[in-house]
Structure 1
Amino acid sequence: MTKRKLLFSFFLLLFLPVFALAQTYTIEQYLNIRSAASPTLSPDGKFIAYLTDITGTNQVWKIGVESGCPEQMTFFDERVQFVSWNPKDKYWILFGKDVGGNERTQLFLLKSDASEIRRLTHKDDIIYNFGAWNNDGTMFAYTSNERDQRYFDVYVMNIKTGHVRLVWQNDGNNSVVAWSPDGKYILASQNRSSFDNDLYLIEYETGKVYNITPHKEQARYFGAKFSKDGRRIYLLSDEGKEFTGIAYIDVPNGKLNYIYTTNWDVETIELSKDGRKIIFVLNVDGYSEVYSLDLITKKTQKLNFPSDGIVGSLRFTSDGNKIVFTYQSPVKNQDIYIYDVLKGTYRQITQSSTAGIPPSSFVKPQLVRFKSFDGLEIPGYLYLPKNAKKDASLPVIVSIHGGPEAQELPRFSALYQYFVNNGYAVYAPNIRGSTGYGKTYASLDNTTKRKDAIRDVSLIPEFLKSTGYIDPSKIVVYGGSYGGYMTLAAVTFYPDLWAAGVDLVGISNFLTFLKNTGAWRQRHRMAEYGDPEKDAEFLREISPFYHVDKIKAPLMIIQGANDPRVPKSESDQIVESIRSRGGIVEYLVFEDEGHGLAKLKNRIKAYKAIVEFLDKYFKNKPKASN
């Protein structure tokens, strides 16, 4: 090789890492990053059925636990919402599917070799919510609002005969949680709000019903599992506690007894096959830590699960020696893993594509906090481009999560990674009203306290400015569902702080929202937001629709036509009002979507439009002068 060629090769190698760091990727590539979720095991423990969006919408796939290639089992244009393998019959898998995002879930049986699909429910305007199999796999319990759109009764279906039996008629928002091992009891939850429910035992043969969680102050009871002998129910609760802990209730009418509590929420529990241990996930500042709790000695042990991310969907194999679970982190798209209980090691089972984007280009966020107007600390995640400098030049997207009873987590977000890779910062806070930080924190935005949460958002620009990275003239607010409402509220009530806003399926008017949302949701949502009759004046005060004249920032609004939660009318009315005043608003409606975008072609169209909108009105603005 000549000296000249050697010098050229040297300089090429020297600058190659710089070129690699500078490379950007298209929004289409990021949206083609795949994930795997909802693992369910065959009764012999040899296979896992799961959901993945490889085809563009979630479908049922199957893979061997030890080896083998993934096999697609369903081939719909519409999304599959859940999947559950029969606990005794390896040949049958249950799944649910709606149409166009309308959430009217229908139930189907799928043969495990994909040779047959049998539809079990046939009323397209009714919701059928799967609950639990009985122990021998001949029947499953579910709820349906067939009798009255407002309420969900409990039914049982025999999969061999197709016979359906109504086992509990009740005017409530009910769901099936579990079925006792001896088949005697069905456990159901009646939800009054996101923070208050009761558990009921239904005697299957007699129909007798026991409220096993009578209480006065609001409390949650969830994640329940029957013990191996069926005499005890283990569950998660925050009754009398600030954080969710592990408790038990003796069947049929024992009292609640705590066996593990700490100053973080326990999120998920799974009972070992021998009934001796509970495996649980602790939410520590959004990150998952996995422990085992010995029910005899009451000792806990931290397990060697992957860290710096989120663990979910714990499932023991039939022999009890392994645990199937999902894992994702800010720099790892979600996949299915298996943990060896005896060895204390884990391995990845599914291998979801990153669409040609090197994982080394993904960035981890910083967990940061700022003090709000009343001294309350607001946690959040700040994503910065690699090699970001404190020169006050970065545009930033403030992403407000939905719910509001939810938590921004250190999950994998293809959208966040796209924006960071293209020179934006992203800040994702957990404003008051978020879960994960105790019962008190989660209730700080209820009804008339809603304005305090909006004030939290209004202080974010000043906090971001204090970091030294952010150009204060290039701050956009973004969110979906309740986060969409917060976006509209931010640009309405604090119009001078934002360069632009992006709202996906957000509430614009609480009075019309509470009137038009799905009948089965109205009472539940009134408990959070307020009564449209008693609180009408306040709801009008905090509804952006009545204050449209204050909006200055350009808005992008995206809506699904079939949305049963936040109906299309919420977006229609504010778009019309903004346009009638000469304001800037771009509006995209998807006729085959509901509360969010489930189909890849629609996500690509929507997010390309968002990128173009931000480039036009936001990113390319001149830097603010000092």
Structure 2
Amino acid sequence: MVDLIPRAHLFGNPTRYGHQISPDGRRLGWVAPHEGVLNIWSAPIDDLDAAVPVTTDRRRGIDAYAFAYDGRHLLYVQDADGDENHHLYAVDLTTGERRDLTPIPGIAAAIVGLSRIVRDRVLVAINDRDPRFHDLHSIDLATGERSLVIENPGFAGFLIDERYAVRFAFRNLPDGSSQLIAPDGANWKPWLTFPPEDARVSGAENLDAAGTALFCRDSRGRNTAALTRIDLATGETRVLAAHEEADIGAVLQDAETHEPVAYSVTHARKSWHVLDPRLTDDFAFLETQGLGDWYPASRTEDDALWIVVARADTRVGEAAIYDRQAKTLRSLGSARPELEGAPLAPMSPAIIRSRDGLDLVSYLSRPLDAQAPGPLVLLVHGGPWARDSFGFDGLHQWLANRGYAALSVNFRSSTGFGKAFLNAGDREWGQRMDDDLSDAVAWAVAQGVADPARVAIMGGSYGGYATLMALTRNPGSYACGIDLVGPANLETLVRTIPPYWEAMRAQLHRAIGDPDTEEGMALIRERSPVYFADRIKAPLLIVQGANDPRVKQAESDQMVAAMERGGIPVTYLLFPDEGHGLVRPANRLAFFARAEEFLARHLGGRCEPIREDESAGTSMQVVREG
């Protein structure tokens, strides 16, 4: 019998992760616990034992940060209990002083740009004037003095150069297309338009340092998004890179010129491709180091040192400093060293053919002692404009260790596989997107992996919606389901999106339906699981964060009420101090303890007894026990 991996080793706080190197190469930063809460730490690169926490949050934790180019400040963002109204803070690494650079109640701020030229200032988007649209402000890092760069009259965002000058703006049109517009005196003029079918996979990325060329991801005239270069003076467009099966993924830029020097492509697995021959030896060396689907997470301004992160199915986020001249890797350790030597399960990519001929890139992990067929948990990613990929996955490892096969499926609407695949999900929420999930289960049964009587479905956000919809649409197919912050009513979902999502409303209507039209409203009602709750036969666990600004608590409340009216059992867990997902470790562990017991009861897998520390410190409220 395979040893049980403690839940805390999979879902508790990591030891350290999120490494970044300062532009001058003198300091490292990372995320690690401080008094049990994740905070930002920093140390001189030549004396990591001198590390100190530069933030000291004692509640929710902080993990999003960046070094400024001035060699003195570290910037980070933080919200309140998951409300996503982030403020931007600066830490003086010399004095330790911390300041809120955006001390305005009720706003959501975001870093737009850090410049090698304007080193003493940061460009920030703030929605204080109009909660729907973010204006651009330049903020002095030392004094906090804020100056308006440009008001936002209703655009999705701006494209700036290194001097913080606005060169273009992004505008979403009512038909779902996106447009790049250029300043024209006091007005704006259309410069480049991506039609609705291209808008979600195409767009302008960045300018070169000279401001003479624009780099885009562009699927116009092709299926997958290519990397292109547009000469701003002549309009000449060159395709720099393209792939037949997948969109261009991450792009590395030259630190000085901002020209692309390498790019990745991810179909079933990630591959890197070099554009600049100066990097050929670097990528050749790193590919021989057994790093799995690795990626460069951070680079110095002179490009001499990189932080690279190994990402393999049984290797947990191990970071290292790569010295390009010496061709050496200096390990910074694993995010979860307690898992070294644990019985981790390998992950296998699989291509599953949908009933209408689409290739669904999927990932399967099976128990090490699997005796097929056995219980299966179908994991549905959120978004839906996102994707699953190869690498260490805590959910897969948890499930496989407990005796379940774990299957993640990139259903239609997932990103990275071209516009035809993504657009195939438009107006197919809860229909063909659900068919893809059913087809994946049928594949697992046909492969001898899954016992059709012991299949569960589980997901968060869109994955939570898919769970609810699958249980109403295919009530006999699943033994149970777990919905984490999933919408139940698409009308209330669309009508209550955060105000700063206003610019993307047309794309939501294109995908879901427009509730202000008779046709759209009919579609929305047909695809909203709250109206079909009486069809559910399988046990259901619903989990919600009370502060979620995207999928509000009312979504889960509606679903639970509908099930109560029908006399259908449901368990409802509410977390008052969480938003769109569970961040606090005590809450994560409390949820996974309940989820593990739930799956064991209905699928028959193994269950680690709930430890005392897993029930301490959580805010979890059991609103209903079904």
Normalising by the smaller structure, the TM-score range is 0.7 to 0.9
Q: Report the Cα distance in structure 2 between the residues aligned to 1:187 and 1:62, rounded to whole angstroms.
A: 36
Residue 73, structure 1, aligned to residue 51, structure 2: no
SS state of the match for residue 566, structure 1? Answer: coil
Question: Which residue does the alignment assign to 2:111?
Answer: 130
- 1:229 maps to 210
Q: TM-score, normalised by structure 1?
A: 0.86
Is residue 90 of structure 1 aligned with residue 71 of structure 2? yes
Q: Does 1:582 align with 2:567?
A: yes
Counterpart of 1:6 in structure 2 is none
1:530 counterpart residue number: 513
* C-alpha spacing 1:549/1:183, structure 2 compared with 1 (3 Å): closer
Shift of 1:173: 5.2
The superposition leaves residues 31-82 of structure 1 with CA deviations (integer Å, 9 ceiling, x where unpaired) of: 1262755544323212122334676554212244455234322111233252
Choose which of 403, 423, 438 in structure 1 pairs with 2:383.
Answer: 403
Query: Which residue matches 1:609?
Result: 594
Preserved CA contact (<8 Å) 1:398 1:426: yes
Cα deviation, 1:130-185, whole Å, max 9, x if unaligned, reads 110232322222222222222222222233443333333234353455x4235544
CA distance in 2, matches of 1:113, 1:615: 52
Alignment-derived partner of residue 394 in structure 2: 414
2:192 paired residue number: 213
Q: Tell me how far 1:283 sits from its aligned partner.
A: 2.7
Tell me if 1:272 matches 2:257: no
**In the alignment, is the contact (CA less than 8 A) between 2:167 and 2:182 conserved in 1?**
yes
Which amino acid letter does the alignment assign opposite residue 526 of structure 1?
A: H
1:282 maps onto 2:264 in alignment:
yes
Pick one of 301, 308, 313 that aligns with 1:318.
301
Counterpart Cα distance in 2 of 1:66 and 1:210: 51
Deviations along 1:601-624, whole A, 9 cap, x unmatched?
110111111111112233269xxx
Tell me, yes or no, if the aligned pair for 1:365 and 1:381 is still in contact at 8 Å. yes
Aligned to 2:613: none
**Aligned ranges 1:407-486 → 2 under 5 Å:** 407-448=387-428, 451-486=431-466
Match of 2:320 in 1: 337
Query: Helix, strand or coil for the counterpart of 1:51?
Result: strand
1:494 paired residue among 474, 490, 512: 474
Contact between 1:153 and 1:174, CA under 8 Å: does it hold in 2?
Answer: no
| Partner residue in 2 for 1:145 | 127
Written as runs of structure 1 = structure 2, the 5 A alignment for 1:517-556 is 517-521=497-501, 523=505, 524-534=507-517, 535-556=520-541
Q: Distance in 1 between matches of 2:39 and 2:591?
A: 22
Question: Kindly, what percent of the aligned residue pairs are identical?
Answer: 25
SS in 2 for 1:456: helix
Q: CA deviation at 1:122?
A: 1.7
1:386 is displaced (CA, Å) by 1.0
| Higher mean C-alpha deviation, range 331-340 or range 538-547 | 331-340
Question: Residue 149 of structure 2 is aligned with which of 161, 164, 167?
Answer: 167
Query: Does the alignment pair 1:387 with 2:372?
Result: no
Q: Is the counterpart of residue 106 in structure 1 residue 118 in structure 2?
A: no
Given the alignment of the two structures, is residue 156 of structure 1 paired with residue 138 of structure 2, yes or no?
yes
Contact residue 331 and residue 359 of structure 1 kept, 8 A: no
Query: What stretches of structure 2 of length at least 5 have no aligned partner?
Result: 607-626
Q: CA RMSD of the aligned region, Å?
A: 3.1
Equivalent-residue separation in structure 2 for 1:208 and 1:91 (angstroms): 39
My pick for the range that moved more, 498-507 or 332-341, is 332-341
Amino acid at match of 1:238: S
Within the candidate set 286, 311, 314, 1:304 is matched to 286
CA contact (8 A) 2:413 2:426 kept: yes
Deviation at 1:558, TM superposition (A): 0.4
Partner of 1:573: 558
Q: CA shift at 1:202, angstroms?
A: 6.5
The aligned amino acid for 1:400 is V
Change in Cα spacing, 1:519 to 1:483, as seen in structure 2 (3 Å) is same
CA distance 1:431–1:496, shift in 2 (3 Å): same
Describe the shift of the 1:176–1:117 C-alpha distance in structure 2 as closer, same or farther (beyond 3 A).
farther
Structure-to-structure mapping, 1:240-279, within 5 angstroms: 240-251=221-232, 254=235, 256-263=237-244, 264-273=246-255, 275=257, 278-279=260-261
44-53 or 578-587: bigger deviation: 44-53
Matched positions, count: 594
- Work out whether 1:292 is the aligned partner of 2:274: yes
CA shift digits 1:477-525 (9 cap, x unpaired): 0000000000001100000000000000001010111112212225153
Could you say what secondary structure the match of 2:275 adopts?
Answer: strand
The CA deviation at 1:405 is 0.5
Residue deviations 1:91-125 (CA, integer Å, cap 9, x gap):
11111100000000001111124621011112231
> Displacement of 1:409 after TM fit?
1.1
Q: Is the 8 A contact 1:288 1:307 kept in 2?
A: no
Q: Give the Cα separation in 1 of the matches to 2:180 and 2:309.
A: 27
2:311 to 309, 328, 347: 328
Structure 1 counterpart of 2:91, one-letter code:
L
Relative distance call for 1:195 and 1:122 in structure 2 (3 A) is same
Measure how far apart 1:346 and its partner are.
3.8
Say whether the 8 Å CA contact 1:35–1:334 is kept in structure 2: no
Letter in 1 for 2:487: I
Amino acid at match of 2:227: I
Alignment of 1:360-375 (within 5 A): 360-375=342-357
Contact 2:311 2:391 (8 Å CA) reproduced: yes
Once the two structures are superposed, residues 555-578 of structure 1 have per-residue CA deviations (whole angstroms, 9 ceiling, x without a partner) of: 001000000000000001101111
Distance 1:266 1:224 in 2: 12
For 2:349 and 2:280, how far apart are their aligned partners in 1? 32
Does residue 22 (structure 1) correspond to residue 2 (structure 2)? The answer is: yes
Q: In structure 2, the residue corresponding to 1:495 is in which secondary structure? A: coil
> C-alpha separation between the residues in 1 aligned to 2:206 and 2:603?
50
Alpha-carbon spacing, 1:600–1:193, altered in 2? closer, same or farther (3 Å): farther
Return the letter of the residue paired with 1:158: D
Q: CA deviation at 1:303?
A: 6.2
Which stretch of the first structure deviates more once superposed, 154-163 or 190-199?
A: 190-199
Q: Which of 309, 332, 338 is 1:349 aligned to?
A: 332
- C-alpha change, 1:37 and 1:176, in structure 2 (3 Å) is farther
Q: How far is 1:364 from its partner? A: 1.7
In structure 2, the CA distance between the partners of 1:620 and 1:262, relative to structure 1 (3 Å rule), is: closer
Deviation at 1:402, TM superposition (A): 0.5
Q: Structure 1 residues 221, 406: CA separation in 2 closer, same or farther (over 3 Å shift)?
A: same
Decide whether aligned partners of structure 1 residues 599 and 113 sit closer, same or farther in structure 2, where only a CA change above 3 A counts: farther
Report the TM-score, using the length of structure 2 for normalisation: 0.86
Q: What is the CA–CA distance in structure 2 between the aligned matches of 1:303 and 1:443, rounded to whole Å?
A: 38
Deviation at 1:440, TM superposition (A): 0.6
Structure-2 residue corresponding to 1:49? 29
Q: CA deviation at 1:290?
A: 2.3
Structure 1 residues 212, 53: closer, same or farther in 2, change over 3 A?
farther
For the residue of structure 2 that corresponds to 1:129, the secondary structure is strand
CA offset digits 1:426-456 (Å, max 9, x no partner): 0111111111221111111112565111111
- Give the direction of change, closer, same or farther, for the CA distance of 1:155–1:578 in structure 2 (3 Å limit): same
- The equivalent position to 1:117 in structure 2, one of 98, 103, 115, is 98
Kept in 2, the 8 Å contact 1:153–1:170? The answer is yes
